[in-house]
């Protein structure tokens, strides 16, 4: 795996214009923004994490004590939910994977990508409410889009149509989704108010969604799932400890064996996301970020040992790994900074690149770019571009969605860009955005594409 050289820089606002077809365009050369620095906490949606009424005694015994996390910067965490299912009329054979796409990820160009100019197009639909996440099938033929609760939709790349393909019931709030590398299954994680984590499987061959009832997580919530290229998966669960703090739980998952035995760790902050990278010896490692009521950054090394970072940072709830596995980037949302996990170490330096209002991050399938997502500010939907090997402030590009508060988006100050998924084999993909409050219920699906990049058919 290749190691990136990194530095930090402040984000920059670039010019935007309307496309001839009504789409919006943002991007160009990066530079320092002319606008004043935004308060990082003012534009981040929050929700209180539900504490479990009782702790699981077995996991309590297994959990090790960890050092206290740095003082809480923001007591509540941004709202989130879970993702997706697949299209009923998918034509790929079960488990089929595009070999060319896999080669793209493995053989990404060594040099950095040029600054992207992004074209955004709203997908007409009337069914989504605050969709939390989504994922593309490895073939790129369709993506599964998760509604805030209950419904799973399929977006067909060929027809650009959104179709409901699954339902979990109104009591299930979706949280995360990931396809197995061979495309035969998608694992969907959801939670109920009990609390109880639920694991659902989408079967590509039959286009069906079913709950795995033996994989429920009583007293806690499922937060994230990620796969290595060889099919090994990790599921992250979190719950309140019997005393103060939280317990993070990692479980192996494979299509053949399902969930494995848990490995647990006491944390001062509630954990919310994970990503595969490498430890100090180059072995596969799982980086975990915890941003509920404080911050804890840690990783599980190749020997299965939990390691808590000694560095401090802001509340950190989202992380994304470069597909090559050499490093992962996380968003410290309370401090509006990018953090990096690489070779078993966390970089949370104060001079790291600033990403005002950001909360989420998603790498492209070839590892050359990543999009960092925020909320609505100054009439735009906040989107920033990171390019591999360019971890300095001046190289972070502001590629925000222009005209976000006007039709067809009609976003307001509470609308957040919840997640992005890059389509395999091209430089484009989908964004989901929305909000769900007493005064506003919104849901958006937005296509994006790098102008002049590898086109999405």
pLDDT the model gives residue 22: 54
Phi, psi for 21 (deg, rounded to 5): -95, 10
Q: What is the DSSP string of 232-249?
A: -EEEEEEEE-SSSSEEEE
> Cβ(435)–Cβ(81) under 8 Å?
no
Residue 110 is predicted with a pLDDT of 55
Per DSSP, 110 falls in state: S
Cis peptide before 40 (omega within 30 of 0): no
3-state secondary structure at position 9:
coil
For residue 196, give the 3-state DSSP assignment: strand
d(CA 305, CA 325): 19
| Top-confidence residue, 324 or 49 | 324
Longest dimension (CA), the chain: 62
CA distance 198 to 150: 12
Residue-level length of the chain: 457
Q: How far apart, in Å, are the Cα atoms of 181 and each of 137, 287, 333, 349?
A: 9, 19, 30, 34
- How high is the pLDDT of residue 25? 81
Least confident range of 43-52, 194-203, 345-354: 43-52
| C-alpha Rg value of the chain to the nearest Å | 20
Contact 214, 258 (CB under 8 A): yes
User: How far is residue 391's CA from residue 352's CA, in Å, rounded to a whole number?
Assistant: 8
Burial 398-435 (b: 16+ CB within 10 A, else e): bbbbbbbbeeebebeebbbbbbbbbbbbbbbbbbbbbb
Sign of dihedral through CA atoms 415, 418, 424, 425? Answer: positive
Cβ pair 295, 309 in contact under 8 A: no
User: What is the band of 243 on the pLDDT scale with cuts at 50, 70, 90?
Assistant: confident
Rounded Cα–Cα distance for residues 100 and 127 (Å):
34
pLDDT score for 18: 47
| Contact (Cβ atoms closer than 8 angstroms) between residue 424 and residue 365 | yes
Predicted local distance difference test score (pLDDT) of residue 59: 41
d(Cα 448, Cα 18) in Å, to the nearest integer? 14
Q: Which runs of E-coded beta strand occur in 9-149? A: 12-13, 16-18, 24-27, 117-122, 133-136, 142-146
- Write the DSSP assignment of 255-309 as a string of letters: TTTEEEEEEEEEESSEEEEEEEEE-TTS-EEEEEEEEETS-EEEEE-TTS-EEE-
Q: What are phi and psi of 395, to 5 degrees?
A: -95, -5
Tell me the mean pLDDT in the region 161-165: 98
Tally of CA atoms within 13 A in the half-sphere of 234 that contains its CB: 22
Render pLDDT for 394-419 as a digit per residue (tens, 0 to 9).
999 999 999 999 999 999 999 999 99
- Where do the domains of the chain lie? 12-450
Average pLDDT over residues 94-123: 66
Q: Is the pLDDT of residue 88 over 80?
A: no
Q: Could you report the per-residue pLDDT of 178-193, keeping only the tens digit for each?
A: 999 999 999 999 999 9
The model's pLDDT over 367-392, given as tens digits with 9 standing for 90+, comes to 999 999 999 999 999 999 999 999 99
Q: Which CATH architecture has domain 12-450?
A: 7 Propeller (2.130)
Residue 57's H or E segment, with its range, is: helix 57-62
Highest mean pLDDT among 17-31, 59-73, 248-262: 248-262
pLDDT of residue 17: 43
């Amino acid at each position: 795996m290749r190691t990136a050289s990194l530095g930090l820089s402040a984000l920059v606002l670039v010019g935007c214009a309307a496309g001839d077809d009504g789409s919006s365009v943002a991007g160009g050369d990066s530079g320092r923004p002319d606008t004043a620095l935004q308060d990082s906490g003012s534009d981040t949606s929050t929700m209180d994490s539900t504490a479990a009424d009782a702790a699981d005694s077995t996991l309590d015994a297994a959990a090790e004590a960890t050092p206290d996390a740095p003082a809480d910067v923001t007591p509540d965490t941004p709202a989130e939910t879970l993702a997706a299912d697949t299209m009923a009329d998918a034509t790929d054979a079960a488990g089929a994977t595009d070999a060319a796409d896999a080669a793209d990820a493995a053989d990404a160009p060594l040099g950095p990508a040029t600054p992207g100019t992004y074209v955004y197009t709203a997908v007409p639909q009337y069914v989504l409410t605050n969709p939390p996440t989504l994922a593309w099938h490895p073939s790129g033929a369709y993506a599964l889009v998760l509604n805030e609760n209950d419904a799973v939709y399929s977006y067909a790349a060929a027809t650009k149509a959104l179709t409901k393909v699954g339902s979990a019931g109104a009591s299930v709030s979706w949280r995360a989704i990931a396809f197995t590398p061979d495309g035969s299954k998608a694992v969907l994680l959801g939670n109920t108010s009990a609390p109880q984590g639920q694991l659902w499987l989408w079967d590509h061959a039959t286009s069906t969604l079913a709950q795995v009832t033996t994989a429920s997580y009583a007293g806690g919530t499922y937060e994230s799932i990620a796969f290595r290229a060889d099919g090994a998966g990790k599921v992250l669960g979190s719950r309140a400890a019997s005393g103060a703090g939280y317990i993070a739980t990692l479980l192996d998952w494979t299509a053949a064996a399902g969930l494995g035995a848990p490995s647990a760790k006491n944390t001062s902050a509630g954990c919310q996301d994970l990503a595969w990278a490498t430890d100090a010896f180059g072995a596969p490692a799982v980086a975990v970020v915890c941003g509920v009521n404080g911050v804890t950054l840690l990783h599980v090394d190749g020997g299965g040992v939990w390691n808590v970072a000694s560095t401090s940072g802001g509340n950190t709830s989202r992380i994304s790994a470069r597909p090559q596995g050499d490093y992962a980037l996380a968003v410290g949302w309370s401090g509006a900074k990018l953090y990096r996990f690489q070779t078993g170490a966390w970089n949370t330096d104060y001079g790291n690149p600033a990403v005002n209002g950001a909360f989420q991050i998603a790498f492209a399938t070839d590892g050359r770019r990543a999009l960092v997502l925020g909320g609505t500010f100054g009439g735009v939907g906040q989107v920033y571009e990171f390019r591999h090997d360019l971890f300095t402030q001046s190289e972070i590009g502001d590629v925000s969605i222009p005209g976000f508060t006007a039709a067809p988006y009609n976003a307001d100050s509470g609308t957040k860009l919840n997640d992005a998924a890059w389509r395999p084999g091209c430089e484009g993909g989908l964004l989901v955005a929305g909000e769900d409050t007493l005064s506003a219920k919104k849901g958006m699906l937005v296509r994006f594409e790098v102008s002049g990049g590898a086109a999405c058919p």
